[in-house]
Amino acid sequence: MVKPPLGFHEIIELPDEYWVFDFSKGPQTDFENPFPYSIGKYDERRPGMYTAPLFGGVRNHHVGLDIGAPAHTPVHAFSDGIIHSFADNAEDGSYGPTIITEHIVALPQHVGSSQSAEAAKIWVLHGHLSRESLNGLEIGQHINGGEQIATLGAKHENGGWAPHLHLQLSNSEPTEKDLPGVVDEEGRSQALLDYPDPRLIVGPVY
């Protein structure tokens, strides 16, 4: 079982066995995933996968990490923090119910490192949640590391996707209750600077 780095908490409890998708050649539709849990990679070009008008036919480079799990699977805060914002991004292909949290943490210097940089603010988007996850939330609400903050949504409520968590980090405070989880090729280099690898908080899951 992959453990998060530096004392962080598991966001979704992954079992010992799970599938790691490779969408670089397009959607995988000709096989059956043998495991109920899965990972979709960060910094992956995914041709033919994002067909909703939201993506404009050009945004196909994924800058978050996907954790596939059954609908209603609990989602936990990786560290102490606050609720920054939340919304139901209900446009076809978007995140559906979304929670963005804010934290002050010292992240590892790179994936797999046991050394950390100076503590700084980081924002974490949790997308494709259940609608009930938004009930009772308040902006500025304190959350504890390890606390359940949401559950995964089913396809009918999560933007139209198989149940999974889109996890995305941001070095800058989001100005909307949203972040671009998929960018075009021209925007990739800047996006990788703005949105660090989520494995910095979940560990080397692939």
Residue 32 is predicted with a pLDDT of 78
CA distances from 136 to 83, 156, 163 (A): 11, 22, 22
Residue 114 is predicted with a pLDDT of 83
Residue 88 has phi, psi (to 5 degrees) of -105, 100
Residue 203 is predicted with a pLDDT of 97
Show pLDDT as tens, one digit a residue, over the chain (206 residues). 788 999 999 999 999 999 999 999 888 777 778 899 999 999 999 999 999 999 998 999 999 999 999 999 999 999 999 999 999 999 999 999 999 999 999 999 999 888 888 999 999 999 999 999 999 999 999 999 999 999 999 999 999 999 999 999 999 999 999 999 999 999 999 999 999 999 999 999 99
Phi-psi region of 96 (alpha: psi -120 to 50; beta: other; left: phi over 0): left
Please state, in angstroms and rounded to a whole number, the distance separating the CA atoms of residues 38 and 121: 29
User: Is beta strand 61-62 parallel, antiparallel or unpaired with respect to 74-76?
Assistant: unpaired
Look-up of token digits 């939330």: 137
Assign a CATH topology to domain 19-202.
Glucose Permease (Domain IIA) (2.70.70)
pTM, rounded to two decimals:
0.96
Please state, in angstroms and rounded to a whole number, the distance separating the CA atoms of residues 82 and 9: 15
Domains of the chain: which residue ranges?
19-202
Decide if 81 contacts 102 (C-beta within 8 A): yes
Residue 45 is predicted with a pLDDT of 97
Residue 27 is predicted with a pLDDT of 85
Encode the chain in three state secondary structure.
CCCCCCCCCCCCCCCCCCEECCCCCCCCCCCCCCCCCEEECCCEECCCCCCCHHHCCCCCEECCEEEECCCCCEEECCCCEEEEEEEEECCCCCCEEEEEEEEEECCECCCCCCCECCCEEEEEEEECECHHHHCCCCCCCEECCCCEEEEECCCCCCCCCCCEEEEEEECCCCCCCCCCCEECHHHHHHHHHHCCCCHHHHCCCC
As given in the structure block, the two tokens for residue 78 are: 């990786």
Please state, in angstroms and rounded to a whole number, the distance separating the CA atoms of residues 48 and 28: 11
